[in-house]
């Protein structure tokens, strides 16, 4: 089908055959399809949507635009998770080694910060020497020997997604559920997984703050992934409050290692991490059910087996061999570390809430995130000791880690302005489970 006729069909809401979608994506890669035609197609999808079959066709075509990893030598237990992003969401760091300690394999290909949310790769780059872009041989060796490796996306995986997303980003077509679905899943399918668990955030710190919108995205992801042959379920989880008590890069690494040490400091992060682990173990047959998976994941955590896997992974990818024992010696520390109290006269005891997105923006103002893709990140800065929802007023609101007084004051102003009086009960950490 000619590109213009393909676009016309979607404009006129006629169904797109899988072979026509595949040919269009192939044209994106070989230059037969222009940037203007990609933009027109994206806008047609934004306005008219896609059927499930069309979304599956687009996802598979984008997967096949580059390399598809083959982990067949590792058997059927290659599994991963994907999060739609949030503030203080460092789940990937403890989750991958928990699964590895239970006998699974996690070739986790992660991204950098996007908007107000932190990026897993940015966190790992706070660890001296850790290589987020190892060669393929090293990546495969670490996954096979240790059970997990967390690295960045290579240009060979779903390259059509990068091209199409770049055009969506400047044509007001990012917020399309079918296009978001294809973008996320094409990369996960290209990673050669045997199962996937999705963590779809909902709340003030999520990209989908509305529950109905988050449910629509989660349902689309689950149905399209299963339609493409990859067993997948989704958990909708609460992001109306920072997930960890820290937000930043080095500070979130410390938080994750403390969770792996099972020191009791991160109860909500622990709950969600174990719930995702339970589903991952069940979906690839390492547990007969999520309930059994939860028991196995808890054992991997409490026994120290997951912490040991994390340390080995860090060392194998170039980080310090003694990182988990001496992390404070290796992680960068900000020059200014100071408590922040609420404005005088404010009282939110027992009813505190946040506009969580604003906390993510405070980290960016400190230098811990980007306003432009080419910006460097200050890995030392961030927020720690963020108070829980049932705060009794006896502690500071948080502790700010800043490079200088100017950025400290900017972040302090934004954090104070983000405080809200919470209405109603504290929402459950796990909001809903969605399966095919």
- The catalytic position among 110, 154, 183, 384 is 183
Whether pLDDT at 346 is above 70: no
Look at 36-50, 57-71, 275-289, 379-393 and tell me which has the smallest mean pLDDT.
Answer: 379-393
Residue 82 annotated to the active site: yes
Residue 190 above 70 pLDDT? yes
Give the tokens for residue 153.
């996306």
Say which of 10, 112, 140, 187 is annotated catalytic.
187
Residue 11 has pLDDT above 60, yes or no: yes
**Catalytic residue list contains 83:** yes
Q: Which of 65, 77, 117, 120 is catalytic?
A: 120
* pLDDT tens, position by position, 245-268: 999 999 999 999 999 999 998 999
Fold match flag (72-159+166-327+429-434 vs 333-421): no
Angle, vertex CA 413, rays to CA 412 and CA 414, nearest 5: 90
Task: Please give the mean pLDDT across all residues of the chain.
Answer: 93
435 is catalytic: no
Reported in sequence order, the residue ranges of 258-408 that DSSP labels E, i.e. its strands, are 336-340, 352-354, 382-384, 398-402
10 catalytic per annotation: no
Q: Are strands 430-434 and 247-248 parallel, antiparallel or unpaired?
A: unpaired
Say whether 120 is catalytic.
Answer: yes
pLDDT of 111 strictly over 60: yes
Task: Give the domain 3-49 fold.
Answer: 1.20.970
Q: What is the pLDDT of residues 379-397, one digit of tens each?
A: 999 999 999 888 887 889 9
**187 assigned to active site:** yes
**Torsions phi, psi of 340, nearest 5?**
-120, 125
Rounded to an integer, the average pLDDT of 353-361 is 90
Catalytic residue (one of 82, 215, 241, 309)? 82
Assigned token pair, 312: 């080995």
Predicted pLDDT at 117: 66
Q: Hey, where are the domains in the chain? A: 3-49, 72-159+166-327+429-434, 333-421
Of the candidate CATH numbers 3.40.1030.10, 3.40.50.200, 1.10.645.10, 2.60.40.10, the domain formed by 72-159+166-327+429-434 belongs to 3.40.1030.10
Q: Name the CATH topology of 333-421.
A: Aldehyde Oxidoreductase; domain 3 (3.90.1170)
SS3 assignment, position 149: strand
- The arithmetic mean of pLDDT across residues 195-221, rounded, is 93
Q: Of 320, 310, 331, 311, nearest to 126 (Cα)?
A: 331
* 345 has a pLDDT exceeding 60: no
Q: How many CB atoms lie within 10 A of CB 409?
A: 13
- Residue 166 banded pLDDT, cuts 50, 70, 90: confident
**Residue 262 annotated in active site:** no
Reading the block at residue 57, the tokens are: 């066709």
């Amino acid at each position: 089908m000619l590109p213009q006729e393909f676009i016309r069909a979607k404009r006129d809401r006629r169904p797109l055959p899988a072979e026509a979608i595949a040919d269009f994506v192939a044209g994106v890669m070989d230059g037969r399809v222009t940037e203007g035609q990609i933009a027109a197609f994206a806008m047609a999808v934004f306005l008219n949507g896609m059927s499930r079959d069309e979304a599956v066709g687009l996802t598979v075509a984008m997967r096949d635009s580059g390399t598809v990893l083959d982990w067949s030598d590792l058997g059927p237990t290659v599994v991963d998770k994907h999060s739609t992003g949030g503030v203080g969401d460092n789940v990937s760091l403890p989750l991958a080694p928990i699964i590895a300690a239970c006998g699974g394999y996690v070739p986790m290909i992660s991204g950098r910060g996007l908007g107000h949310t932190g990026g897993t790769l940015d966190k790992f780059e706070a660890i001296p020497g850790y290589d987020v872009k190892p060669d393929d041989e090293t990546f495969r060796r670490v996954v096979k020997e240790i059970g997990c490796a967390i690295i960045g996306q290579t240009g060979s995986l779903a390259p059509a997604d990068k091209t199409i997303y770049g055009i969506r980003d400047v044509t007001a077509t990012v917020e399309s559920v079918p296009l978001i679905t294809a973008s996320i899943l094409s990369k996960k399918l290209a990673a050669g997984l045997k199962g996937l668990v999705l963590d779809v955030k909902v709340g003030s710190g999520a990209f989908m703050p509305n529950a109905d919108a988050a449910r629509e995205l989660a349902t689309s992801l689950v149905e399209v992934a299963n339609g493409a042959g990859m067993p997948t379920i989704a958990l909708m989880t609460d992001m109306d409050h920072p997930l960890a008590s820290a937000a930043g890069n080095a500070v979130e690494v410390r938080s994750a290692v403390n969770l792996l040490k099972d020191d009791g400091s991160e109860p909500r992060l622990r709950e969600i991490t174990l719930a995702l682990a339970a589903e991952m173990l069940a979906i690839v047959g390492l547990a007969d059910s999520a309930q059994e998976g939860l028991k196995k994941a808890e054992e991997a955590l409490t026994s120290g087996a997951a912490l040991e896997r994390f340390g080995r992974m860090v060392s194998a990818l170039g980080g310090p061999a003694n990182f988990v024992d001496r992390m404070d010696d290796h992680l960068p520390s900000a020059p200014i570390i100071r408590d922040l109290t609420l404005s005088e006269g404010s009282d939110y005891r027992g009813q505190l809430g946040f506009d969580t997105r604003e906390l993510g923006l405070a980290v960016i103002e400190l230098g811990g995130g980007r306003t432009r893709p080419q910006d460097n990140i200050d890995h030392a800065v961030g927020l720690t000791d963020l108070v829980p929802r049932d705060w009794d007023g006896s502690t500071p609101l948080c502790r700010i880690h800043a490079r200088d007084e100017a950025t400290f004051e900017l972040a302090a102003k934004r954090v104070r302005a983000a405080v809200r009086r919470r209405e109603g009960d504290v929402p459950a950490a796990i909001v809903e489970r969605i399966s095919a």
